[in-house]
Chains A and B, each alone.
Chain A
Amino acid sequence: MRAADFIIQALINEGVDCLFGYPGGAIMPVYDALVGAPLKHVLCRHEQGAALAADGYARASGRVGVCLATSGPGATNLVTGIANAYMDSVPVVAITGQVAKPLIGTDAFQEVDVFGITLPVVKHSFLVRKAEDLPRVFAEAFRIAREGRPGPVLIDIPKDVQLAEFSPTPFLTPVEVCEPLPELDIERARAMIASARQPLICAGGGVVIAQAVAEFRVLAEATGIPVVSTLKGLGCLPAEHPQHLGMLGMHGTRAANYAVQSCDLLLVIGARFDDRATGKLAEFAPHARVIHLDADRAEIGKLRAVEIGISAPLKRVLPRLGMALDIAAWREKCAADKREHGFRYDAPMPGIYAPHFLQELSARAAKQTVIACDVGQHQMWVAQHYGFDHPSRHLTSGGLGTMGYGLPAAIGAQFAEPNTPVILVSGDGSFMMNVQELGTIRRYGLPIKIVLFDNQMLGMVKQWQELFFSERYSEVDLSDNPDFCQMASAFEIPARSIALRAEQAEAIAELLAAPGPMLLHVRIDPKANVWPLVPPGANNATMMEGVES
């Protein structure tokens, strides 16, 4: 059979129902094989959009996301999306066309060494030099992408290989061996938990990646240990759960950061001590012994020395750690901090206060709603003020912090879950980075709702210039923004603009009730900042606070 037809067959066999891509010369045989195939191809309007849509699809569904591009510029345009998936451990398979084998290494038209370019941002990669390798490569690529700590895998396929005729021999991936759990470490961990007086759990994105949210909740409730979350761990416990203290770190809650600084045992589950979460590492959780559970052995002890490190599937380990604890006084102290330092939404201003808007959106949107966001102040406001019920409902670019992530990620999520409401929360800067994907919303009639916070600023950068560069503002002004409502209507997306708090409730109701896509343009105060803020280099107990007028 023709290799290109085999590739489509291999995708179907892997359970792929939808892929995101953009055609071009070196991938034409695969696009030819797509015609009439029982596989949905989503034409994005930029390869970066396709890669980020595959990421959003994977995060929302827990399945492998697939993107497809041609050689040269098509391939280089994928790179940011691949890096985004790498930093957040998202299972993505990226397929690129390559110039024909005899041309490789000759600087042929649209030849780039995408294998070389992506080495630092893939979990693994393949350059397929003969069609006979395709069955093995596709089977391995999907297994590698999803197994252990997931990540992106690149498959680069020269055009002559795509056109080759061959007889595929099926390749069977080795069955995953179920390794015995490290019993000794589990026993030691149990003893350490049992003897702790002020234990704390830190939940990270690894919990949902391991599909262990249910086991996590059982453990948290059995032990009664208070929980803080990283950005990607939000939702491991539902936001309103009494044990949940909120996000830790740079824009974390006071309750969470105080708890970390005073706990005597920190149980870190599927998190990796990112600097935005730890603040000054040397002063992070200074009184705590640490138990670290992570699928990736190399994360254990990488940044913080730990007493016990366990690298085994969370689904099997977490149920082994449950026990009843007598920590009422500590729990009460954490709960009191949470009560005392809760967020306030009563700023007396006629304009719209983004945190309040998000809190109201959260209260009114359906529970299963997926929220995709971009990067900046609005992203942190979403993390702080939208109450997530499950981490798979929160699509946020954590590790790479990719502006332009939100719109394509929302599109990917909508394809993964056609019947689930999907809302994008974006900023006026980020939105423009992949705005071409409004064309994808229009083409497929996706009912995505867009909340666009317009502060006429690159807000997060402005906040840092204000606080840490003596208010010397450099290239953060966006007061010449386009008319976003007109822009939406050019894509046949209904739009509305609001600026007053008095309009908020009704506009949210209209947005949520809209049968198709809608853009809600929300003007906010350019001076608004994200609080609290742990300044860079400080420890997490040093939280700056501002006042909104």
Chain B
Amino acid sequence: MSDLLYLQIRNDEGALERVLRTTRHRGFQLETFTVTTARDPQFFDVTLRVSSERPVDFLSRQFGKLLDVVAVSELRDASLARSA
């Protein structure tokens, strides 16, 4: 089973590295990862699709602790997320 997450991240030194290492270290495989600063160069809009034996909540709470991460949401309906 895979889950889709959306993050808004401040464009700070190392912010994306923190997100990627947290994903790996907490036991999640990355299936897709898209990043853009198109909306506002000070922020990354990140969507990632991950899979794991652990509930996705385990990861999103860890993302919530990263100081560069401004917002985390779990997108439950994948089709909705794609059209967004």
Contacts and interface: CB of A to CB of B under 8 A. Distances in A.
B81 interface: no
A439 B64 CA distance: 43
B60 to A, nearest CB: 9
B25 interface: yes
B67 interface: yes
B62 interface: yes
A298 B66 CA distance: 11
A298 B17 CA distance: 20
A301 B64 CA distance: 15
A102 interface: no
A124 B14 CA distance: 10
Contact of B64 (A115, A144, A297, A302): A297
Given A144-B67, A298-B64, A302-B58, A119 B13 contact: no
Contacts of A120: 21, 25
A298 B67 contact: no
Contact of A298 (B18, B21, B25, B61): B61
A119 B58 contact: no
Nearest to B65: A298
Nearest to B20: A119
Contact of A119 (B21, B57, B61): B21
A116 B17 contact: yes
Contacts of B17: 116, 119
A132 to B, nearest CB: 15
A127 B21 CA distance: 18
A296 B58 CA distance: 13
A172 to B, nearest CB: 18
Looking at chain B's contact residues, is the secondary structure mostly helix, strand, loop, or mixed? helix
A125 interface: yes
User: Which bucket holds chain B's interface residue count?
Assistant: 10 to 19
A119 B65 contact: no
A296 B65 contact: yes
Interface in A115-132: 115-116, 119-120, 123-127, 129
A297 B61 contact: yes
Interface string B44-69: 00000000000001100110110100
A128 B1 CA distance: 41
Contacts of A298: 61-62, 64-65
Contacts of B64: 297-298
Contacts of B18: 119
Nearest to A302: B58
B61 A125 contact: no
Contacts of B21: 119-120
Contacts of A129: 13
A119 B14 contact: yes
A303 to B, nearest CB: 10
Contacts of A127: 13-14
Interface in B4-26: 13-14, 17-18, 21, 25
Interface of A: 115-116, 119-120, 123-127, 129, 144, 296-298, 301-302
A-B pairs, top 5 by smallest CB distance, nearest first, are A298-B61, A124-B67, A127-B13, A298-B65, A298-B62
16 contacts: A116-B17, A119-B14, A119-B17, A119-B18, A120-B21, A123-B67, A125-B14, A126-B13, A127-B13, A127-B14, A296-B65, A297-B61, A297-B65, A298-B61, A298-B62, A298-B64
Given A116-B14, A119-B14, A302-B58, 9 more contacts: A115-B14, A116-B17, A119-B17, A125-B14, A129-B13, A297-B64, A297-B65, A298-B61, A298-B65
